[in-house]
Amino acid sequence: MRRYLLLAWVILGLLAGVAATLLGHPEAAPWLWSAAALPVAAHVGLGLVRSLMGGRLGVDAVALFAILGAVALEETAAAAVIALMVAGGEALEAWAEGRATRALTDLIARAPRRAARLEDGTVAEIDVAEIRPGDLLLVRAGETVPADGTLEDDGATLDESALTGEPLPNAFHRGDALRSGGVNAGAAFRLRAVRDAGASTYAAIIRLAQDAAASRAPLARLADQWAVGFITFTALLAGGAWLATGDPVRALAVLVVATPCPLILAAPVALVAGIGRAARRGIVIKGGGALERLARIRTVLFDKTGTLTPGRPRLAAIDADPLLGREEALRLAAALAQGSTHPASAALVAAAGRRGLALPVPETVAEVAGGGVSGMVEGRAVMLGAEGFLHAAGIDPSNGFALTAEVVAAAGSIAWLAVDGRVAAAFMLADGVRREAPRAVRRLRALGVRRIVLVTGDRAAAAAPLGRALRLDEVFANQSPADKIARVRSEAAKAPTAMVGDGVNDAPALAAADVGIAMGAAGTAAAAEAGDVVLLVDRVDRTAEAIAIARRSRQVALRAIGLGMGMSGIAMTVAAGGWLTPLAGALVQEVIDVFAILYALTALRPGPDEHAQDGLPAEAGLAERHDEHAGLRQLADELRGIGEAIGATPEVVPELAAVEARLRDELLPHQRAEERALYPAAAERLGGQDPMAPLIRMHAEIEGLAERVGTLLRLAQRDERWTTTAPELRRTIFALEALLRLHLAVEEEMLADLQGPERRGA
């Protein structure tokens, strides 16, 4: 506010002097212009004294000398215009910083101050500081979630756009964990607090935002570093012009156009603009210094679990005793797994749910931590767990499953199922790769990151396939927290290095890196505190976006400085030659200042390195088609199972007919719906010449194979044709399964940028 009042005073004095001249009182004008200029000189002088007391010589000393010199030489109009330039530059800086930090300001402004606590059936209004873990809170429509907690009602809809930058609301279900800071976009719901407000997610984000806004970037300090040299150059040029001509007005004209507002204002405005734009994308950068370091990153180290992988195991494959069958094996295992909290158990229960299996309630469930779980299911003794767990019970898991163990152990883990004392099935579990991870790696390469490395505490057999899939430069497995720190320091000695992680064990490595990037949406508080950059969206591809924003902001800041000071240098030379009067020079410098600051604000716009896509409209059907992919993957499992079951006799014909019906009733309509609405909308967003052509070609091949399966099945239903038809039918089914899996993976990767908010539970 003080900056705007000072600007208003200068404008009033300048206009008063002009009015006095026009009304026939020119003798009053110098007094009015001096009265307008001298308060600004006093303001600049106080700032200069504070700088000197802090051990810095600010470049605003040139502005002070210019104002005082103009008043002394009775160039009071020029003095008033210089004062207008200084006061206007500071006001413009305040406006620009306000616009640049709008996202950070919005975060702080939206912080809840009151909450509704349910006490004995009544609603009590309390300060958020009074919230304690275990409190039952009521969050009404339009209110901000005041603390982290668990949803106690059947459903809730939250607008988390201020946290994540994603425009669409997210739906939550009973028992889901809710983060503070989201806005209730639906009906009122009850929330069971798990933390007090001060320890919740939103409070931590606000602290990060305030730290980011308060810090001074190296580029902003660059003005102070250049101050002595710039002032010396200005003094030599002004003094030389005075000595050469004997005219002090020449020196004054040089001082006027040398006022270094572009150097003082442009750099911090550009960097703060970058911080603000990153915040709108769910990326909190802790200050301009972190942004500057981020812009120079050439090596990125990734943690594995929770960073490049979702951190949640999923069922990848089933190998079961043919007498029991895959579906029955999964049903029994998932039924028993309901009594366990292990992530592998949750993966089996989720897989059974996706297949629509009805799960009985297990009895006498006993769990051994880190081993497995046992109990009774429908009167049968069932055990589920690791190989050692079954060995301890006198059961040899390798009996009939040796090949499976050898082949799959390298890529994931196995949960063994024993029924009535005999091994019955092996469930292959894998963490998988985040859908956006391959794109994140490729985009980092496109941004000039020369080395991308995986550093994980997991075993080498599990880490190596991930490194191959993502085309990483090197993989370091079995790394302890101390090993990770040593690896980060080794890489940082060669090139500016960033470390990306999410867990407590990653926090030391994040702190040791040039830039620590924490997955703050689902990661730990320790990682978020240690990181210089916090990703509020659970998407690893925001790492590349953060680097792109940082690079653009730094480039804009340097260009704004270069353009502004270059034009000032030209104007100084012209003034030294006598072709620019002090008053005209002041007006020219004002134009240069406005140009430099407005150019710095272009950091608010995406640059050519940033390719974020808008989400597709709802009518394109992307969400619906994506939800159908789970059923299609189950269909692929059935294709593999039925292909393996094809033998010398036609007993599998009924199962074949059921699978062929699913191809006609589920797969082909799904593909037609994609080509009718989804693919045209995606092609418009992606651009280029027919970007969806590869997927459409896959559709055609899949349809051809599905039709061939139907034709072969009709032939196979004739007993006399089974022996000649079965081998070709088996080959066709395996080809269809492989192509279907490939198609689903490629399609999801191509359209991931158009997905909008990260789908929960996907």
Sequence-distant (6+) residues with CB within 8 A of 205 are 107, 163, 181, 284, 534, 536
Residue in the block written with tokens 């550009």: 270
* CB distance 376 to 382 below 8 Å: yes
**Nearest in space to 384 (alpha carbons), one of 324, 346, 315, 332:** 332
Helix runs in 118-246, H state only: 161-164, 201-214, 218-245
What crossing angle do the helices spanning 542-576 and 437-446 adopt, rounded to 10°?
A: 20
What tokens does 516 get? 């620590």
| 3-class DSSP state of 285 | strand
| Rounded Cα gap, residues 32 and 17, in angstroms | 5
**DSSP 8-state assignment for residue 313:** -
Helices (H) and strands (E) in the chain, counts: 29, 22
* Distance between start and end Cα atoms, the chain: 49
Rounded to the nearest angstrom, the gap between the alpha carbon of residue 729 and the centroid of all alpha carbons in its chain is: 46
DSSP 94-131: HHHHHHHTHHHHHHHHT---EEEEEETTEEEEEEGGG-
> Long-range CB contacts (< 8 A, 24+ apart) of 502-511?
502/303, 502/306, 502/307, 502/311, 502/527, 503/303, 503/305, 503/306, 503/527, 505/457, 505/481, 506/303, 506/481, 506/530, 508/481, 508/482, 508/484, 509/301, 509/303, 509/455, 509/481, 509/484, 509/485
| Rounded Cα gap, residues 377 and 370, in angstroms | 21
Give the Å distances, CA to CA, from 19 to 8, 13, 30, 267, 581: 16, 10, 12, 37, 22
Give the Å distances, CA to CA, from 355 to 99, 254, 668: 51, 80, 20
Give the Å distances, CA to CA, from 503 to 131, 304, 336, 521, 599: 27, 10, 30, 11, 40
- Half-sphere exposure in the Cβ direction for 217 (13 Å, CA): 31
Burial 529-548 (b: 16+ CB within 10 A, else e): bbbbbbbbbbbbbbbbbbbb
| 3-class DSSP state of 397 | coil
| Annotated active-site residue in 196, 303, 502, 541 | 303
| Rounded Cα gap, residues 182 and 428, in angstroms | 37
Torsional sign, CA 558, 560, 565, 570: positive
What tokens does 387 get? 């190989």
**Nearest in space to 340 (alpha carbons), one of 362, 357, 317:** 362
Going by their DSSP bridges, the two strands 189-193 and 515-519 should be labelled as unpaired
| Rounded Cα gap, residues 289 and 118, in angstroms | 45
Give the Å distances, CA to CA, from 380 to 354, 383, 386, 581, 762: 24, 10, 19, 100, 33
Rounded to the nearest angstrom, the gap between the alpha carbon of residue 419 and the centroid of all alpha carbons in its chain is: 45
What tokens does 480 get? 């302890």
| Rounded Cα gap, residues 624 and 619, in angstroms | 10
Is residue 303 annotated as a catalytic residue, yes or no?
Answer: yes
| Rounded Cα gap, residues 475 and 477, in angstroms | 6
* CB distance 369 to 341 below 8 Å: no
* Integer Rg of the chain from CA: 34
Other residues' Cβ atoms within 10 Å of the Cβ of residue 358: 7
* Active centre residues (catalytic): 303
